[in-house]
Chain A
């Protein structure tokens, strides 16, 4: 995992502020993420954690501050946004697979049309990824024919197919039946071990404790507390963190 303090951070957020209308969702967020680091973001609903990671690949726009991903600053420049998005993979709570395409087509679509890979190569990569997430036999099926856990694993494979440097996970297990959560978390663990930089919004404390290099606790649009898991779970400093942990553990 991440012991690369000599390297440059891959994500830099400086004084990020965002409003929905008059509502101040993100307040002065400062965060740096190192390559290969796994950062788990936790916090109560409505605390702005999802909005924050959606800002990182510009699905939401921040209004103040700087977000720099892999040396490129997010701005209104369309080319920057396209460049950054192709570096960042994202996995959604609701999977968001394309229902009109087969699993294989879901995975190869972006490599073929955005990266302009030849179909043969894209298919090969896709089948390898499906094997990696443990469902090589489902390539020809449509998403609706798969279980929730399988769909989410396809979504992970789809994001990986673009060979991103960073993966964002927005509550990837929240829409799953309890029986299927583990299979998705296992894939994520394997991904973390392989050295992927990951930002994960989740309520799975076991996963956070086991996999995270750093835990960031959000409340009311700001970062309340941040630190390695042992510190965070065993020795929280802020009252709000203590309250939150006392309610979920």
Chain B
């Protein structure tokens, strides 16, 4: 461009600005994001790869273990204990009413005050879908083999199970006559007691103290129906026999009808032998219910009570344990499906109530009456729940259930809710007190906060349990659960006070001056100007404190309350058959803690970004 000499130092842009162009492809979208965040430099690339490798390894190992080996039955069979502790069985409906109330109010509250992401609903629908379909799929996956040991001390014996018409049942006797047999692995459910007995005998056989070849085995297995008469197909009774000449026997039968069946095992050589023959009885095609109780509840109406025999084929009663590795299908049918069908009813009622509340809340967001009703509902929920759970003196419908019977998730949630509702106002008051201009109030609040913050929670709980009632006899009559609630509340309030104080400090002085210049008194200034801004600024910290409180409730297990951790501890240490499954139980409650904590922090994020004043100056 040639310009006249005089205009060389002057630049004038063309009248139209150039059109906007798209950015280069490698800098936007997924590709751009990955390039920018995951592979921006070689240390970053290395970190990405190492982390990814570790994650893949860890997740894969965990998933493999949970699918192939873990025994989640400890949860399915103890759900009632885990959710409501030792709350009396007959009064469980009160628990359910409480849960229903809380779920409905939560839905209502979220509908009114927070945006619920669509993803939450997608997750809920997926979970509900799984609850419906997984048990259906699970029912179609063949049951694994069941092994029980036929041993001299326990014959003759009978096994009861539930069979269905047209299902194929296969029973096989596998006598143990040489060292080869000692080490054969069974893959499937093995009765724990059989396994223990067999281990002893196998050791004896391996050291030569027991000669398996010595033993004659004359056994017969017969299939009987509920009344004890033999089941016959085309006139011939269904049975398998093992004789010294022809070791091992089997039969396969298509069951003629639905109902209870009995496998009866007898020795035919008792008059000639010392009764020392062993055999594995292998049973295919039988559904192994988690417990006789579960089976009875599910089927008793249709088939009547099961015949009373000594060895029912039910996991809980004789503690059958899965040996070997499960396939994914077996995992679904044996572990997932029973658990999901166990929680199906409650989940659907809960989801329906939540959705109901949410719809009402969303539609009525701008209706004063709905909002008032929701606030009133939450305010009344506390006392109402306490009355429902604790009961009324002398009432027949609501007999007293002492708090020592409260436990499990119920107690955890109650401790948390009471802690939150009581510690929040207390914490705010302490924070304001600490900033008070009156020295006595200021010092008292500061002293309280610092003392509580300087002492571990567990110490406070022990003090609430042991020391305080000793000095102050009026408190010794106070229920232990209530004392724990007080301890947790005081502890949480001290930490909340510090969080709130942080929020108070960031409210600029100009806000106070503006409020004062408008003639607002200190109370109005604090409640209308300072606190709304201060609290909103520290919502994440406050919710963080509430999440801590929720997790800290687990410490009351140490002083003897059976909340979530306490009850699981009781299950795995108190019931011998669940002792091997501590990992499963603790992982499960870890998941519960995580899901609830995550939901809380998610709601806090939504509160932060929604509603009045989310746009900050």
Binding site for B on A (CB under 8 A): 57, 59, 82, 85-86, 88-90, 92, 94, 96-102, 109-110, 113-114, 142-145, 155, 158-159, 162
Contact = CB atoms under 8 A, between A and B. Distances in A.
A114 B612 contact: no
A144 B510 contact: no
A109 B528 contact: yes
B513 A114 contact: no
The interface residues of chain B, by DSSP majority, are classed as helix
B532 interface: yes
B613 interface: yes
Nearest to B611: A100
Contacts of B508: 94, 96
A101 B519 contact: no
A74 to B, nearest CB: 13
B615 interface: yes
Q: Which 10 A-B pairs have the closest CB atoms?
A: A100-B613, A96-B514, A144-B617, A110-B518, A86-B519, A90-B517, A96-B510, A99-B617, A85-B519, A142-B615
B518 A159 contact: yes
B609 to A, nearest CB: 14
B458 to A, nearest CB: 39
Contacts of B533: 98-100
A144 B616 contact: yes
Tell me which of B508, B513, B518 has the highest count of chain A C-beta atoms within 10 A of its own C-beta. Answer: B518
Given A92-B510, A100-B532, A142 B520 contact: no
Given A89-B517, A92-B513, A113 B528 contact: yes
19 contacts: A86-B519, A92-B510, A94-B510, A96-B508, A96-B511, A97-B617, A98-B533, A100-B612, A101-B612, A102-B612, A109-B518, A109-B528, A110-B519, A110-B520, A114-B518, A114-B519, A114-B521, A143-B617, A145-B615
Contacts of B514: 90, 92, 96-98, 155
B528 A59 contact: no
A143 B615 CA distance: 8
B429 to A, nearest CB: 21
Given A109-B528, A143-B617, A59 B612 contact: no
B371 to A, nearest CB: 16
A83 B254 CA distance: 97
B524 interface: yes
Interface string B519-548: 111001000110011001000000000000
A159 B515 CA distance: 10
Given A96-B511, A143-B617, A162-B518, 19 more contacts: A57-B517, A59-B513, A82-B519, A94-B508, A96-B513, A97-B514, A98-B515, A99-B613, A100-B532, A100-B612, A100-B613, A109-B528, A114-B518, A114-B519, A145-B615, A155-B514, A158-B518, A159-B517, A159-B518
B504 to A, nearest CB: 14
A57 B517 CA distance: 7
Given A94-B510, A100-B532, A113-B528, A85 B613 contact: no
B304 to A, nearest CB: 68
Contacts of A144: 615-617
Contacts of A113: 520, 524, 528
Contact of A114 (B524, B536, B617): B524
Nearest to A115: B519
A57 B515 CA distance: 12
A143 B520 CA distance: 20
B503 to A, nearest CB: 12
Contacts of A96: 508, 510-511, 513-514
B78 to A, nearest CB: 48
B516 interface: yes
Interface in B466-513: 508, 510-511, 513
Given A96-B510, A113-B524, A101 B613 contact: yes
A102 B612 CA distance: 8
B528 to A, nearest CB: 6
Given A114-B524, A144-B615, A85 B513 contact: no
A158 B536 CA distance: 23
Max chain A CB contacts within 10 Å: which of B520, B529, B536? B520
Contacts of A88: 517
A98 B519 contact: no
A220 to B, nearest CB: 25
Nearest to B612: A100
A216 to B, nearest CB: 21
Nearest to A94: B510
A20 B520 CA distance: 25
Contacts of A109: 518, 520, 528
A59 B517 CA distance: 7
Given A92-B510, A100-B613, A101-B612, A85 B528 contact: no
A176 B379 CA distance: 46
Contacts of A99: 533, 613, 615-617
B1 to A, nearest CB: 34
Contacts of B520: 109-110, 113-114
A98 B531 CA distance: 12
Contacts of B613: 99-101, 142
A109 B525 CA distance: 11
Nearest to B531: A100
A244 to B, nearest CB: 28
A125 B514 CA distance: 20
A162 B519 contact: yes
B366 to A, nearest CB: 13
Nearest to B534: A100
Nearest to A93: B510
A199 B528 CA distance: 28
A109 B521 CA distance: 13
Contacts of A82: 519, 521
A98 B529 contact: yes
A204 to B, nearest CB: 21
A92 B513 CA distance: 9
B607 to A, nearest CB: 13
Contacts of B616: 99, 144
A97 B510 CA distance: 9
A92 B511 CA distance: 10
Contacts of A101: 612-613
A98 B517 contact: no
Contacts of B532: 100
A153 to B, nearest CB: 15
Nearest to A98: B529
A162 B514 CA distance: 13
A88 B528 CA distance: 21
A34 to B, nearest CB: 22
A170 to B, nearest CB: 10
A218 to B, nearest CB: 21
A162 B616 CA distance: 25
A91 to B, nearest CB: 9
Contacts of A98: 511, 514-515, 529, 533
A144 B160 CA distance: 75
Contacts of A159: 517-518
A59 B520 CA distance: 12
Given A100-B613, A101-B612, A114-B524, A85 B510 contact: no
A173 B513 CA distance: 18
Contacts of A97: 514, 617
Nearest to A102: B612
Contacts of A145: 615
Contacts of A102: 612
Nearest to A168: B517
Nearest to B529: A98
Contacts of B612: 100-102, 142
Interface in B564-617: 612-613, 615-617
